[in-house]
């Protein structure tokens, strides 16, 4: 079962951390998961993407070929990657930062990550709110797996845990 995921946004949104924690959680559960980051010269404000490839065999190609999942926190990242993913891909987006285009048959899920971060009074929580929604819909792992991986980093906080839980609860299927 090969699965490919792309997380995209701009520098400073925590895309790298979000995808790295998801990849660590998968790896901790026994998946053959590789993580790769890609960001421009501007760490804050420049285009930022990160990738996970879940492989069936250790010698499978470790790079993205055609993603099954797109997680978009910026319009620029969404516009770039939407053309590169599978036609039946699942797309997660924050409606405060991404506007959908024409209907294309993909499964779209709105995660109200910016709203959640505002409610928590911490804009840095956007990435964890988004991750909560992704965990709920993809069902590859459970929220406790993410929290455990987050605890292994210096980024664990009550706010991040609340953002994960609220993102899990505030994801909606949208018709594009």
pLDDT in tens, 5-56: 999 998 777 899 999 999 999 999 999 999 998 866 645 667 789 999 998 8
Query: Half-sphere exposure (CA, 13 Å, Cβ side) for 141?
Result: 23
pLDDT in the model for residue 126:
95
The model's pLDDT over 60-69, given as tens digits with 9 standing for 90+, comes to 888 889 999 9
**Alpha carbon 112 to its chain's center:** 13
| pLDDT digits 0-9 by tens, 112-154 | 999 999 999 999 999 999 999 999 999 999 999 999 988 888 7
pLDDT of residue 137: 97
* pLDDT of 151: 86
pLDDT band at 96 (very low <50, low <70, confident <90, very high): very high
CB under 8 Å to 15, separation ≥6 — which residues? 7, 8, 9, 39, 48, 49, 50, 73, 127
- Give how many domains the chain has, as a whole number: 1
CATH number at residue 118: 3.40.920.10
Q: What is the pLDDT of residue 138?
A: 95
Q: What is the pLDDT of residue 63?
A: 86
**Confidence at residue 67, expressed as pLDDT on a 0 to 100 scale:** 96
Structure tokens, 117: 């971060």
Instruction: State the residue for tokens 């069936």.
Output: 56
What length does the chain have? 176
Following CA atoms 96, 108, 151, 16 in sequence, which dihedral angle do they give, to the nearest 10 degrees?
A: -70
pLDDT score of 43: 56
For residues 74-102, give the mean pLDDT: 94
pLDDT at 59: 85
Residue pair 150/160 in contact by the 8 Å Cβ criterion: yes
Locus of tokens 């993205």: 64
> What local confidence, expressed as pLDDT, does residue 125 receive?
94
Q: Which domain holds residue 70?
A: 3-174
- Mean pLDDT of all residues in 73-87: 94
Residue 43's SS3 state is coil
DSSP codes of every residue in 51-99: EEEEESSTTS--S-SS-SEEEESSHHHHHHHTTTS-TT-EEEE-TTT--
HEC per residue, 154-176: CCCCHHHHHHHHHHHHCEEEECC
């Amino acid at each position: 079962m090969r699965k490919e995921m792309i997380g995209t946004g701009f520098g400073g949104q925590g895309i790298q951390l979000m995808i790295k924690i998801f990849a660590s959680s998968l790896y901790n559960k026994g998946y053959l998961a590789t993580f790769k980051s890609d960001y421009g010269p501007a760490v804050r404000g420049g285009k930022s993407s990160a990738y996970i490839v879940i492989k069936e065999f250790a010698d499978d190609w470790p790079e993205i070929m055609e993603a099954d999942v797109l997680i978009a926190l910026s319009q620029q990242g969404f516009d770039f990657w939407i053309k590169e993913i599978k036609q039946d891909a699942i797309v997660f987006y924050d409606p405060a930062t991404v506007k959908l285009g024409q209907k294309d048959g993909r499964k779209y899920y709105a995660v109200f990550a910016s709203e959640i971060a505002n409610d928590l009074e911490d804009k840095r929580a956007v990435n964890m709110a988004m991750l909560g929604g992704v965990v709920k819909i993809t069902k590859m792992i459970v929220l406790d797996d993410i929290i455990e991986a987050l605890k292994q980093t210096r980024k664990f906080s009550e706010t991040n845990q609340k953002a994960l839980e609220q993102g899990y609860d505030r994801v909606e299927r949208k018709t594009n």
